[in-house]
Chain A
């Protein structure tokens, strides 16, 4: 096994073992060995993290493993990111997401899964937690130069706040600045369309798919999927 292959293998193992220290060490070794940081990111971290996401989708692993894997990715990415940017790439991420559960709603788990899956898929995610007022979401989105805003709601009563958040964005003249994705147990595609969101995720995998479609410039509210139970 070449030195490059050995380092990439160490990176992959660090994700599988959720070992942040090992991820940092392997990423540092990759840079020291002159491995292209984008190649290292894709082969060493992105592939095993995608496998982790797929295993979660099949329920072969559970939320704790997914969260830990996503954290390890972040630890390793911190080492690689400066080199990726120095190499001329505009960003080490596919997009910058600010996400929170809407004001009045304190449910966290669904959003936590989305956050882990988005991070695993290469997005920079700023998780503002639960019961988040819309002005706070916009303030952070401005600070971190986000291009995507995610609004989660678990209850049929609090999903109305997703509509209010989008209306407030319009009022502040920033609606078109962000790609807005909504999700949560009672949320349907019909609701997303009604309130003027750009996309909806039935679940975490759906959220990732929607954002991937966005990257390919595909409209994501064009199908009828999800409207069946509206």
Chain B
């Protein structure tokens, strides 16, 4: 099994490469060759794959790709390469379950199988949307008050404090990181769930670690979030944060957003990159592997190709490893619209039946301030729990019916703009207003009519 120390050493001693050569010669060429070798063909009629053999071929291809590519360390311009034995040993030692948070509010985080009847673990919260400082605690309190949320996800970027925009790496961003930790803890306490785990990534720079404090900030029991940069790249900030958070014993949550249409090519090749990114995350010592099935043109994750790719990658990982995995959901439609419900339900059905836990939902960029809804996260979680009761075939049928409802408004410019939190909620009582509640009820009704066992 490879240690993180060894990974960090390889970032300093591995073979040198240009970024361009890594992306084109290693990732693009190998993904293309593996796509042909393993016959990973996208079927535009399928929203949720039911093909176990396809999933297993995607796994084999992804495993080969990570052995061919390794990871690229952007700052040192070196390759972090792994051999077969290291990959297999590290995968064998991957964490299959753990506990995050503390006390009665602790969450049991576990891996799921394809068509696993156990409910998915719900990572729900602002998902690092831009959040105003005066709404930060209220918004997170409302999310933490949703009982189906198992871990409060990414409490939101504080982009501006005291009227001043925050520059990464500045003194103000250190203050933002500390307030992020302090206010997130205050929010879960106010919600009556003081032990609720918080998945944190406070600011986009190294001073992010200033959010940490057992007394007032994010704790050791709170997972920390990281991102592999598309495709298969890491930077010094990520490696440094990993070194720190590994050392103090935090659970590690690593996301990857392989881009359909990018260096992986189409959905088949990008599925291979997605599997490789999951394995790479395990090699970095991650406990939870997050997939964002992103599309280079649509810039979101509920288009037809992403639905298919999400299902294939999740099944590949669930069938062939014991890693804990989850899938993020970013949409074209915004909270406050029916389209938002259709979109997050389609991807939730696709990936939960494929062995994934759930992360999100959130509208895709560009999004406005506080542009997320705890009530919509409740419905998302309910759909996720219901999806654990259906087969992939049924999920495919329902997801297809949902896709038909939003496919003509998948372009961001055509999608509903939606509303910020403060226009969907009474911010004094932290209850949804009548209009938002009616939307939730209407969404539930339509989903039930489509066969979602809510």
Residues of B in contact (CB 8 Å), total 42
The answer to whether B434 has its CB under 8 Å from any CB of chain A is: no
The answer to whether A222 has its CB under 8 Å from any CB of chain B is: no
The answer to whether A50 has its CB under 8 Å from any CB of chain B is: no
The answer to whether A186 has its CB under 8 Å from any CB of chain B is: yes
Which of these, A112, A160, A161, A229, contacts B366 with CB under 8 Å?
A229
* Residues from chain B with Cβ under 8 Å of A38 in the complex: none
Shortest B102–chain A CB gap in Å is 30
* Residues from chain A with Cβ under 8 Å of B205 in the complex: 104
* Residues from chain A with Cβ under 8 Å of B169 in the complex: 104
Which of these, B29, B168, B296, B299, contacts A63 with CB under 8 Å?
B296
Known: A106-B235, A203-B297. A156 touches B159 (CB 8 A): yes
**CB-based contact A155/B204 at 8 Å:** yes
* Residues from chain B with Cβ under 8 Å of A157 in the complex: 157, 159, 166, 168, 203-204
* Residues from chain A with Cβ under 8 Å of B235 in the complex: 106
**CB-based contact A160/B167 at 8 Å:** yes
Q: How far is the CA of A188 from the CA of B413 in the complex (A)?
A: 11
**CB-based contact B261/A64 at 8 Å:** no
* Residues from chain A with Cβ under 8 Å of B167 in the complex: 104, 160-161, 164
Q: How far is the CA of A109 from the CA of B205 in the complex (A)?
A: 20
Residues of A in contact (CB 8 Å), total 36
* Residues from chain B with Cβ under 8 Å of A64 in the complex: 24, 28-29, 32, 263, 265
Segment 117-146 of A: residues with Cβ below 8 Å from B: 129-130
**CB-based contact A107/B417 at 8 Å:** no
* Residues from chain A with Cβ under 8 Å of B231 in the complex: 109
* Residues from chain B with Cβ under 8 Å of A107 in the complex: 229-230
* Residues from chain A with Cβ under 8 Å of B269 in the complex: 62
Segment 185-230 of A: residues with Cβ below 8 Å from B: 185-188, 202-203, 225-226, 228-230
The answer to whether B96 has its CB under 8 Å from any CB of chain A is: no
The answer to whether A67 has its CB under 8 Å from any CB of chain B is: yes
Q: How far is the CA of A203 from the CA of B19 in the complex (A)?
A: 22
Choose among A108, A161, A187, A230 the residue with the greatest number of B CB atoms under 10 Å from its CB: A108
* Residues from chain B with Cβ under 8 Å of A203 in the complex: 297, 299
Q: How far is the CA of A230 from the CA of B205 in the complex (A)?
A: 24
Which of these, B19, B204, B264, contacts A158 with CB under 8 Å?
B204
Which of these, A63, A67, A68, contacts B261 with CB under 8 Å?
A63
Known: A64-B263, A156-B159, A225-B413. A113 touches B296 (CB 8 A): yes
* Residues from chain A with Cβ under 8 Å of B364 in the complex: 185
Shortest A171–chain B CB gap in Å is 16
Segment 218-245 of B: residues with Cβ below 8 Å from A: 229-231, 235
A 146-172 to B, binary, CB cutoff 8 A, 1 in contact else 0: 000000000111101101100000000
Known: A67-B24, A108-B19. A186 touches B157 (CB 8 A): no
The answer to whether A59 has its CB under 8 Å from any CB of chain B is: yes
Known: A62-B265, A64-B32, A158-B204. A109 touches B296 (CB 8 A): yes
**CB-based contact A228/B261 at 8 Å:** no
Known: A156-B130, A203-B297. A63 touches B417 (CB 8 A): no
Shortest B157–chain A CB gap in Å is 6
Q: How far is the CA of A63 from the CA of B166 in the complex (A)?
A: 33
Segment 112-167 of B: residues with Cβ below 8 Å from A: 130, 157, 159, 165-167
* Residues from chain B with Cβ under 8 Å of A156 in the complex: 130, 157, 159, 365-366
Q: How far is the CA of A107 from the CA of B231 in the complex (A)?
A: 10
* Residues from chain A with Cβ under 8 Å of B29 in the complex: 64
**CB-based contact B413/A59 at 8 Å:** no
The answer to whether B74 has its CB under 8 Å from any CB of chain A is: yes
**CB-based contact B261/A160 at 8 Å:** no
**CB-based contact B368/A230 at 8 Å:** yes
**CB-based contact B417/A228 at 8 Å:** yes
**CB-based contact A160/B28 at 8 Å:** no
* Residues from chain A with Cβ under 8 Å of B367 in the complex: 186, 229
Segment 60-118 of A: residues with Cβ below 8 Å from B: 62-64, 67-68, 104, 106-109, 112-113
**CB-based contact A63/B262 at 8 Å:** yes
* Residues from chain A with Cβ under 8 Å of B165 in the complex: 160, 163
Chain A residue at minimum C-beta to C-beta distance from B158: A157
Shortest B343–chain A CB gap in Å is 15
**CB-based contact B365/A226 at 8 Å:** no
Chain B residue at minimum C-beta to C-beta distance from A191: B366
Known: A109-B230, A160-B165, A160-B167. A188 touches B204 (CB 8 A): no
The 9 closest A-B pairs by CB, nearest first: A64-B28, A185-B365, A104-B168, A62-B265, A186-B366, A186-B365, A229-B366, A63-B262, A157-B204
- 7 more contacts with CB within 8 A, not counting A56-B261, A62-B261, A64-B24, are A63-B265, A107-B229, A109-B259, A157-B157, A160-B159, A185-B366, A186-B366
Residues of chain A whose beta carbon lies under 8 Å from any beta carbon of chain B: 56-57, 59, 62-64, 67-68, 104, 106-109, 112-113, 129-130, 155-158, 160-161, 163-164, 185-188, 202-203, 225-226, 228-230
Question: Would you give 30 A-B contacts (Cβ < 8 Å), ordered by A?
Answer: A56-B261, A59-B261, A62-B261, A63-B28, A63-B262, A63-B263, A63-B265, A64-B28, A104-B167, A104-B204, A104-B205, A106-B229, A109-B231, A109-B259, A109-B263, A109-B296, A129-B19, A130-B74, A156-B157, A156-B366, A157-B168, A158-B168, A160-B166, A163-B165, A164-B167, A203-B299, A225-B413, A228-B417, A229-B367, A230-B366
